[in-house]
Structures are given as C-alpha cells and as structure tokens.
Amino acid sequence: MSRLAIVLVLLAGAAAAQSGPGLDCAKAAAAIERAVCSKPELLAADRRMAVAYAALLGKLAGAARDHLAADQARWLVNRDKACVGEPAEVEDCLDGRYRDRSARLEWLGDGPYPFISDQAIVRAGKVRGIPYVIDANYPQFDATTPDFAAVNRQLASTTSEAADRVLPGPDADNAGGNYSGPAWTYEQAYTLHRPGPNAISVYIRFDSYEGGAHGTVGVSGFLVDLRTGRAIGPEAVFAPTAPWLLELTRIVSADITAPNLSELLKEARRYVFLEDRLELSFNPYEGGPYTVEIPYDRLRPLLRTDGPVPR
C-alpha cells in the first residue's frame, strides 16, 4: 500500500468518526490548523464544512458512508498540499477550498448519494528558474454502473493537459536565468448541478497564467447522462427535429456579435446546464459578455421529452 493510501485510510477513519463542530483550536498543531484558527472567518468556514460533512455522513451507510469518508480524507490531504506559501496566499486558498467543499457536501446530501469523489492535481516547482503552481480539482464518477470509465478519463486528461500547459517550455523567457515575474499558474475548481433526475452537469471554472501580460479566465460545461455513463452534448438535450441551433443563435446574437456564432454554438464545452437555466460561455474575444443565460422556460418546446433536462 502506498504512503498516500495509508494516509487516506487513517484519515478516512478519523473523518468517519468525527462528530464535533470542526477543528479544536486548543489542540491545533499543524501549520494549516493554526492558520485556520487564527482567522475567525476561516474557523467559521471550517465549522460550516464540518457540519455539512457530519449531516451527510449521518444519512449514509455501508459503501456510501465509506466512500464519503475516503473522499473527505482525500480532500484534507489535498487542502494541506495546496494551501502553502505566504499567509495571505494560505488564507485565500483555504477560503476558496472551504467554500467549495461546503457547497459540494450540501449538494451531495440533496438527493441520492451519487458516488462522486473530488480529485486534484497539486504541484509546484521551477523550470529553468520560472516558478509554477498547479491547483486543479475535478470530479470522478465512482459508481460501478453504468460504466463511467470514458467520462473519468476525459475529465482527468482534460485537466492534466490544461495543467501541463503552465509548465514553462524551452522557449519561455526566463530573463537569462534571473526571472523575477509571477509564477505560472493553473487553478481549476468545479461545482455540480442536477438539471434533471438523469443527469449531472459539471461546471468548471479555470484561471491560467502562462507568462506574458495577461492570464486566461474561463468556464466550461460537461454534462453526464447517468443512464448511460456517457458525456453528452446539446444534441442529446434538444429534440432532433427542433430548430434549437437556429433558435439559440437568434437568442444569443442579441449579446454576441461573432460572425461564426452558429459554429461556436456547436461546441459542447460552451453549454452549462444548471437547475433552472442554460448558461452559454464565450471568451472576451468573441464579441460579447462572458456568459449568456437562458431560462429553461424559453427552451421548453425545443427539449427532448426523454432527455436529461425535463420539458
């Protein structure tokens, strides 16, 4: 058994047994615990997360309870790996991580437990004197049926490829070995949504800096059909005989002026299907706001009757 696996087993047992309100600051020993206890806002965030975790754990039994405990243990390990550096950096990291984790635990408790775990790529170092930091989270679908293997490979590989792009290459300007600029970074977080009983939507947010004057901030969507275990695009949501592409182009053209708008709207990553609306994402160079929101009430006639988003 690997060292990480042993740590996860031990922490999972402690996480499963936890019933208190969170950290006991009188016993805080690790640097990360002291950082949390030093800020009332972070301590409150830790307690909110602990309450959400305990509430969900209390609803579960058997394999689901074990899965959640292992996932919480993994989250704690990745929190400790990612939240390092100057005090302000640690505080920002903890604030974002606690906020995302609490929301996810509350979401996991709203409906049947979906056996989705939180995975992360956390790395830092230097290449040719240029520092880089990678802190990228993505979900993994762990249910045994249907087969989610292809979905998990796609989520993992897409995240890994994006993270690898911030590793400075041989042509990166390192100021002759005296680089003093900001670290190259890739940060990724996600939220989960249920647009219907048969689907889960992954809403991915990323922030990347690969040198130069500006970084890149963006969002993307990933819709999973729980009946098949496959990632699906808008053609699986809208009725095949409905003029959905034409109608979406008409709606979005009020805000987006891109000449190739109908082609852009064929890209599945732009579609984020939330509980009450569709969000379509565009970058600043495509002629409009970052997202266009369309309530489902405007789209009902276009949806499949047996699709992942109910009519």
Looking at residue 286, its pLDDT comes to 85
pLDDT band, very low/low/confident/very high, at 14 (cuts 50, 70, 90): very low
Span 296-307, pLDDT tens digits: 999 999 999 999
pLDDT band, very low/low/confident/very high, at 214 (cuts 50, 70, 90): confident
Span 108-135, pLDDT tens digits: 999 899 999 999 999 999 999 999 999 9
Q: For a pLDDT cut of 70, what percent of the chain falls above it?
A: 93
Whether residue 144 is predicted with pLDDT greater than 60 in this model: the reply is: yes
In the structure encoding, which two tokens stand for residue 105, read together?
A: 């635990």
Span 41-69, pLDDT tens digits: 999 999 999 999 999 999 999 999 999 99
Read off the pTM. Answer: 0.90
pLDDT band, very low/low/confident/very high, at 21 (cuts 50, 70, 90): low
CA separation for the pair 263, 113 (Å, rounded): 37
* Closest to 172 (Cα-Cα) out of 124, 125, 127: 127
CA separation for the pair 51, 265 (Å, rounded): 41
Span 150-182, pLDDT tens digits: 999 999 999 999 999 999 999 999 999 999 999
The rounded mean pLDDT for the chain is 91
Collapse the DSSP code of 151 into the 3-class scheme (helix H, G, I; strand E, B; otherwise coil) and give the result.
Answer: helix
Q: Which CATH architecture has domain 117-228?
A: 2-Layer Sandwich (3.30)
CA distances from 147 to 118, 199, 237 (A): 18, 14, 20
